[in-house]
Chains A and B, each alone.
Chain A
Amino acid sequence: MKTADERIKIYLADLKAALSGADKATIQDALADAEEHLRTALENENLEAEAESEAVETIINEYGEAEEIAQAYRSWEADLPPALAATPAARRASARSANGTSSAARAYPGFFGVYADPRAWGGLVYMLISLVTGTLYFSWAVTGVSTSLGVMVLIIGIPVTILFLLSFRGVAFLEGRLVEALLGERMPRRASFTDSSLPWGERLKTLLLGKATWLSWIYMVLMLPIGIIYFSVMITLLALALGFMVSPAGAVFMIASGIPVPLIQTHNFSWVLTPSQAILVSLVLACVGLGIGTASMHLARFVGQVHGKFAKALLVSD
């Protein structure tokens, strides 16, 4: 006869299998719900170990067959709008394309449609703040590992190490919420908790040797270089675009103040534009600036989607 605990594990495995192909975050949510329920139910029965293994069958039966429950989660997932695709069109588009990369583009058509797309704005904000978050993550990840290694020989080394490892999981969860809010990639709605039925040693082993902990750590370390690149590229493009876009105002100001407007100026050569030429050139520049700005928004949306996938791969464990 299986123990209640083994039976619950089997059920969770069945549920996971029945949900194969569904969104990773949905699977994680469904498993967390099932585990919470089954363990709470068992606890409420307050039985001896032997009676427990019988009661667990009733509890699982009342919870529902894995196949049936999986179906309920799938239909919930299908109804769920991706975090940022607020319009019905976007929802339909994302339902059509499983990978979702082109869905945003289809929902907001045209080169300038990108300005109406919350994903582009989310991506832009994400790229700009990633320098700050990346620096914080990197510092914390490196501090955590070096402090832990440093105090390893002391008795306080163990609790310090555990606290840091737990904090990596916590940061991974928070970053997941940020990624979902800004980039629209679905991430787990709740932090994964370790199996509380396991003995302390086992839980510690999962924490210390678990893939999830170290993938989160790698993500935190990588976020520094990634954040620097995102921030530099985006701020450069934005500065360039804005500079070009305000050039007509500059030209008008210079003409009005009687300052000559040079197109090219070196120490022995100068090509000064007439006022009408200056206006024309600055208008062309403004158009170029608008083009660069809009292209940057497309870039932000694209980077946001790629980064969402990247974050999911590292921060959400199977």
Chain B
Amino acid sequence: MVDLKETHKKFQKELSAGTVSLILLTILAQSAEPLYGYQIGKLVGAGEDEGPGVMVKQGAIYPVLRSLESQGLLSSERELSDSGPPRRYYQATQAGQEALQTWAAIWEETKTFVDNVLGGDYQ
């Protein structure tokens, strides 16, 4: 008996790996002000069991933010908050804005292609 639940989970995880980067970059590129991890997680509905939202846990957002930052697409600044621990605020860099144009185009192509295949229209 194939454990379909595990298979679904694995598929979900593999599929979200790339899309999360695209989603986070888009949100930060569109945002007028820098955002910190917790805000971003809430915005994309991470970690919630129901409703639309990215299918990753909130904690998984942080390494993606760091990865985007180490690629120069985001910049961040640590700021003290009135209460509680300091927060790291992220915002998209110029390179990030440019990369997003290309990423969005790649996403469009992929989406169209996958839709075509699913609709049986790929010849």
Chain A residues with a Cβ under 8 A of chain B:
29-30, 33-37, 39-41, 43-44, 61-65, 68-69, 72-73, 75-76, 79-81, 189-191, 193, 196
Contact indicator A68/B84 (Cβ below 8 Å): no
Q: How far is the CA of A39 from the CA of B84 in the complex (A)?
A: 7
Interface stretch among B27-35, B40-48, B92-100, B102-110? B40-48
Contact of A68 with B38 at beta-carbon distance under 8 Å, contacts A29-B66, A62-B48 already known: no
Q: Nearest chain A CB to B49's CB is how many angstroms away?
A: 9
Contact indicator A72/B47 (Cβ below 8 Å): no
Closest to A64 in B: B57
> Which residues of chain A are within 8 angstroms of B67 by Cβ–Cβ distance?
76, 79-80
Contact indicator A43/B63 (Cβ below 8 Å): no
> Which residues of chain B are within 8 angstroms of A37 by Cβ–Cβ distance?
37-38, 41, 58-59, 62
Verify if B15 is at the interface (C-beta below 8 Å from A).
Answer: no
Contact of A68 with B57 at beta-carbon distance under 8 Å, contacts A33-B62, A37-B41 already known: yes
Closest to A29 in B: B66
> Which residues of chain A are within 8 angstroms of B46 by Cβ–Cβ distance?
62
Q: Nearest chain B CB to A70's CB is how many angstroms away?
A: 9
Contact indicator A44/B38 (Cβ below 8 Å): yes
Count, chain B residues at interface, CB 8 A: 26
Verify if B7 is at the interface (C-beta below 8 Å from A).
Answer: no
Q: How far is the CA of A263 from the CA of B63 in the complex (A)?
A: 64
Contact of A193 with B85 at beta-carbon distance under 8 Å, contacts A76-B66, A80-B67, A80-B70 already known: yes
Q: Nearest chain B CB to A281's CB is how many angstroms away?
A: 52
Q: Nearest chain B CB to A94's CB is how many angstroms away?
A: 15
Q: Nearest chain A CB to B89's CB is how many angstroms away?
A: 11
Closest to A41 in B: B38
Q: Nearest chain A CB to B66's CB is how many angstroms away?
A: 6
Partner of B59, one of A29, A69, A81, A189: A69
- The 22 sampled A-B contact pairs (Cβ below 8 Å) are A34-B62, A36-B38, A36-B85, A36-B86, A40-B36, A40-B87, A63-B47, A64-B47, A68-B57, A69-B59, A72-B59, A72-B62, A72-B63, A72-B64, A73-B63, A75-B63, A76-B64, A76-B67, A80-B67, A189-B66, A190-B88, A196-B83
Residue among B36, B56, B66, B83 with the highest chain A CB neighbour number at 10 A: B66
Chain B residues with a Cβ under 8 A of chain A:
36-38, 41, 46-48, 56-60, 62-64, 66-67, 70, 78, 81, 83-88
> Which residues of chain B are within 8 angstroms of A44 by Cβ–Cβ distance?
38
Q: Nearest chain B CB to A50's CB is how many angstroms away?
A: 20
Q: How far is the CA of A72 from the CA of B64 in the complex (A)?
A: 8
> Which residues of chain B are within 8 angstroms of A41 by Cβ–Cβ distance?
38
Q: Nearest chain B CB to A226's CB is how many angstroms away?
A: 30
Contact indicator B38/A40 (Cβ below 8 Å): yes
Contact indicator B47/A62 (Cβ below 8 Å): yes
Contact indicator A43/B84 (Cβ below 8 Å): yes
Beyond known contacts A40-B87, A63-B57, A69-B60: 10 more, CB 8 A cutoff: A33-B37, A33-B62, A37-B62, A40-B84, A40-B85, A62-B47, A69-B59, A80-B67, A190-B88, A193-B86
Closest to A65 in B: B57
Closest 7 CB pairs of A and B: A64-B57, A62-B47, A76-B63, A69-B59, A64-B59, A33-B62, A63-B59
Closest to B38 in A: A40
Q: How far is the CA of A39 from the CA of B82 in the complex (A)?
A: 13
> Which residues of chain B are within 8 angstroms of A190 by Cβ–Cβ distance?
78, 88
Q: How far is the CA of A264 from the CA of B57 in the complex (A)?
A: 77
